[in-house]
Amino acid sequence: MSTATAIAIKGIDVHTYLVKDPQRAVKFYRDTLGLPMSVELSQGAEFELADGATFGVWKMQDGSWHPSAGVMFAVEDCNAAVDHYRERGVKILDGPIDTGDCFMAVCEDTEGNSFLLHQRKG
């Protein structure tokens, strides 16, 4: 195995958001969004999605926190997803937005982190 192959990044193992209250965050992602939990510990949890991706929420041992962003959760129908999650109490900050290439809605979790509901076109 060449050194370049041995050190090459081959994917993302988990995308994690920092949280202030792990139990509240787990409840939001598990119960409100319906993500299937694969690991739960006192400081957070991981959720394994149908496509094999893993998303996690974790509280730092020192209690430090900063807002996170960047996760786009794939949905089949962004408009229907916005209606569904709004009814479940999810804070929808903007959208659905038609970008020309996709539809997306900006949402906020219980910890102040933002995420997108995202529907690819075509």
Q: Which domain holds residue 34?
A: 13-60+67-120
- Establish if 38 belongs to a structural domain: yes
- Establish if 6 belongs to a structural domain: no
Model confidence at 120, in pLDDT bands (50, 70, 90)?
Answer: very high
Which CATH number covers residue 78? Answer: 3.10.180.10
Q: Which residues contact 89 (CB under 8 A, 6 or more apart)?
A: 32
Mean pLDDT value of segment 5-19: 85
- Establish if 1 belongs to a structural domain: no
Model confidence at 13, in pLDDT bands (50, 70, 90)?
Answer: confident
- Establish if 33 belongs to a structural domain: yes
Number of domains in the chain: 1
> Measured between alpha carbons, how far is 116 from 13 in angstroms, rounded to an integer?
20
- Establish if 83 belongs to a structural domain: yes
Q: Looking at residue 111, what is its pLDDT?
A: 97
